[in-house]
Amino acid sequence: MALWGGRFSRSTADDVFALSRSIHFDWKLAPYDIRSSLAHLYILESAALISESNARKIRLALKELNQEVASGSFLPLPEDEDVHSALERGLVEKLGEIGGALRAGRSRYDQVATDLRLFALDHMTNLAHLLSALSRTLLGKAADYVDSPAPGFTHLQHAQPIIFAHELSKHAHALNRDVDRIKDWYERTNFSPLGSGALSGSSLPLDPATSAALLGFAAPIANSIDAVSDRDFVAEALFIMALVGSHLSRMGEEWCLWASTEFAWAHLDDAFSTGSSIMPQKKNPDIAELARGKAGRLIGNLTAVLAMLKGLPFAYNRDLQEDKEPLFDSFETLELILPAFTGMVATTKFDKVKMLAGADSGFSLATEIADFLVRAGVPFANAHEAAGKCVHACETQGKKLHELSDAEFAAIHSELSPKVRDVLTVEGAVKSRSTVNGTAPSSVFTQISILTSKIDQDDQWITDKSASFSGMMGL
Ligand code: ARG
C-alpha cells in the first residue's frame, strides 16, 4: 500500500519500485514498529487527536497484528514498499480508514529512526550476553590450566614461558572491553527520535517525553533535525561489531595454529570441527577459520555506512535506507558465529605435556639470567649482554642454558654463580612473575576471579536491560 500519491498523476515505474523497496530486509523491524506505533497512539489519544473508542480499536488491532507477525500469519505482500506501509495495510484491513489515523504527527523519518534504535538496543543487549557467555567459557577453560606452563610468543617466536590460563584469559579481557563498549554505547543511544516528525517537530500538541518513556528511552532527542538524521548509533554499533570480529579473528588464528599438527596443543571436539571431502584423515578448525574470515564483512559493513554518511545533507535523505542491511548483517553474523565459537572453546582439550615440553625451548629463559644479574646489582644493559652471550655459547655448542658449566657462566660474567641454575626452570620463571598482571599462577588466579566478578555485574546489567525491554508496553 502506497503511503503517498495525492500529487502524482502516474504510478511509480516498476523499476523504480524495485529499487525503492526495502521490505525484503526491513521486515525484521515489524515488532519494533508496532511498539513505537503503540506509544504514538497513546500520545495522540492523550492529546485528544484520536477518540478513546478509536484508540481502543487501534490498540487491539496493533496487538493482534503483533501476534500475527510473530506467528507468520501476517506477511508482507509484493506491493508493500516497506515495513511501515505493510503494517499500515494490516491496520486498514482490520479497521478500515481509521487504520490510517496513526500517521498524524509522525513521519516515516522519525518512525524508522525510532524502530532502528529499538532494534539496535535490543540486539546489542543480546550481543553483550553472547560475549559474556564466551568470556565465561574462556575463563572456565583457563581455570583448568592455571598450573600449566606453555611457551609465550612475541613475533611468533618463543619469548618467555607463561601459564596457559594467562593465555586463554587474555581473550576474555578483550571481549569484556567489548561489553563495556556496548554499555557505554547503550547509554548514548537510548534516546527517542519519536515526535520529531519529518524534521521540525510537530504543530500538534504531542508529548515526545511520554512516548520516549513508554518505549524505555531515557528522553527525547534534543534536536528534531538531528533526531531524524543521526545514524551515529549505527556506525558506532558497527565499529563495536567490527572490533568484536577482529578479536574473534585473532582468537580464531590461535585456535588454527594450536590445532595444527606442528603445534598439536589443541584437540578439537568432533562436534566442533569439520572433515574434508577428499582427504579422509582431515579434521579442520573451520569454526575458527570462519570467525577469522567473517571479520572482513564486519569491517566492510562499518565502512559501507561511514561512506554513506559522509557528506550527506540534512535532514532525511533516502541514502539513509542503506543503513539497515549492513547493521542487520553484522548482528546476524555475530549471532551465528558466537554460539559456535563458544561451543568450540568449551570442548577443546589442550595437551599439557606438549605445551610444557616447548616452554623452555628457544632459550625462553634467557630473561631469567638477565633478571638474576640485575638482582645482583648489575645494570640491565650489561645483564642483557651477558644473557645474550650465554645464548650464543649454547647455540654454538648445542646446549640448553642450564647445561652451561660453572666455568662457562663465570667466564661470561663474574656474577653468574652456579645459583643462576635455580632460576633456569620453567616453573621458577613463571612463579617469579607475580606482579599483579603477571603470569604467576597465583596472579592469574586472582585476575580470573576479578574478571569473573566483573562479568557477574555485567550480566546483571544485561538481565535488567532485557527485562525492561520485554516488559515494555505489555507486549
Ligand atoms: N524505508 C525508509 C528507510 O529505511 C523509510 C521510509 C522513507 N521512505 C520514503 N519514501 N521517503 O529509511
DSSP class per residue in 154-199:
ETTEEEEEEEHHHHHHHHHHHHHHHHHHHHHHHHHH-EE-TT-TTT
Q: What is the mean pLDDT of the chain?
A: 94
DSSP 3-state assignment of 263?
A: coil
d(CA 56, CA 442): 64
Q: Is the CB of 106 under 6 A from ligand 1?
A: no
pLDDT surpasses 80 at 4: no
Q: Is the CB of 323 under 6 A from ligand 1?
A: no
Distance 316 CA to ligand 1 centre (A): 9
For residue 466, report the phi and psi dihedrals to the nearest 5 degrees.
Answer: -65, -40
Name every residue whose Cβ is closer than 8 Å to that of residue 113 and which is 6 or more positions away in sequence. Answer: 193, 196, 227, 228, 230
**Cα dihedral sign, 122-124-127-128:** negative
Alpha-carbon distances, residue 102 vs 42, 206, 330 (angstroms): 10, 13, 32
- Average of pLDDT values for 380-395? 95
Report residue 452 as a C-alpha cell.
Answer: 569473573
Residue-wise pLDDT for 189-223, tens only, equals 999 999 999 999 999 999 999 999 999 999 999 99
Q: Is the CB of 108 under 6 A from ligand 1?
A: yes
DSSP 3-state assignment of 149?
A: strand
Distance 320 CA to ligand 1 centre (A): 8
For residue 22, report the phi and psi dihedrals to the nearest 5 degrees.
Answer: -130, 5
d(CA 153, CA 357): 15
pLDDT surpasses 60 at 262: yes
29 close to 115: Cβ distance less than 8 angstroms: yes
Q: Is the CB of 29 under 6 A from ligand 1?
A: no
Distance 42 CA to ligand 1 centre (A): 24
DSSP 3-state assignment of 259?
A: helix
448 close to 139: Cβ distance less than 8 angstroms: yes
Alpha-carbon distances, residue 452 vs 389, 420, 446 (angstroms): 43, 38, 10
- Average of pLDDT values for 370-392? 94
Report residue 227 as a C-alpha cell.
Answer: 533526531
Residue 9 pLDDT level (bands cut at 50, 70, 90): confident
d(CA 110, CA 341): 38
d(CA 135, CA 452): 9
Supply the DSSP string of 127-138, one letter for each residue.
Answer: HHHHHHHHHHHH
pLDDT surpasses 90 at 50: yes
- Average of pLDDT values for 12-20? 91
Q: How far is CA 417 from the centre of its chain?
A: 52
Question: Catalytic one among 155, 277, 453, 470?
Answer: 155
Atom 12, ligand 1: which residue's CA is nearest?
321
Alpha-carbon distances, residue 413 vs 158, 293, 363, 429 (angstroms): 25, 50, 18, 21
- Average of pLDDT values for 131-159? 97
Helix axes 232-259, 108-143, angle to 10 degrees: 30
Q: Which amino acid is at 113?
A: A
* Percentage with pLDDT > 70 across the chain: 98
Question: For position 473, what pLDDT does the model report?
Answer: 59
Question: For position 263, what pLDDT does the model report?
Answer: 96
Atom 7, ligand 1: which residue's CA is nearest?
108
Residue 101 CB neighbours (<10 A)? 18
Helix axes 108-143, 324-347, angle to 10 degrees: 10
Residue-wise pLDDT for 322-372, tens only, equals 999 999 999 999 999 999 999 999 999 999 999 999 988 878 889 989 999
**Exposed e or buried b for every residue in 6-38, given b needs 16+ CB within 10 A?**
eeeeeeeeeeeeeeebbbebbbebbbbbbbbbb
Question: For position 467, what pLDDT does the model report?
Answer: 83
155 catalytic? Reply is yes
Question: For position 276, what pLDDT does the model report?
Answer: 74
Question: For position 474, what pLDDT does the model report?
Answer: 55
d(CA 223, CA 115): 18
Q: Which atom of ligand 1 is nearest to the CA of 320?
A: 12
For residue 202, report the phi and psi dihedrals to the nearest 5 degrees.
Answer: -140, 145
Residue-wise pLDDT for 402-456, tens only, equals 999 999 999 999 999 999 998 899 998 999 899 999 999 999 999 999 999 999 9
Q: Is the CB of 320 under 6 A from ligand 1?
A: yes
pLDDT surpasses 90 at 280: no
Report residue 39 as a C-alpha cell.
Answer: 506509544
pLDDT surpasses 90 at 110: yes
Q: Which amino acid is at 456?
A: D
In three-state form (DSSP H/G/I as H, E/B as E, the rest C), the secondary structure along 29-43 is HHHHHHHHHHHHHHH
Question: For position 472, what pLDDT does the model report?
Answer: 61
Label residue 258 exposed, middle or buried (CB < 10 Å: 0-12, 13-18, 19+).
buried
Report residue 383 as a C-alpha cell.
Answer: 645483564
Distance 306 CA to ligand 1 centre (A): 19
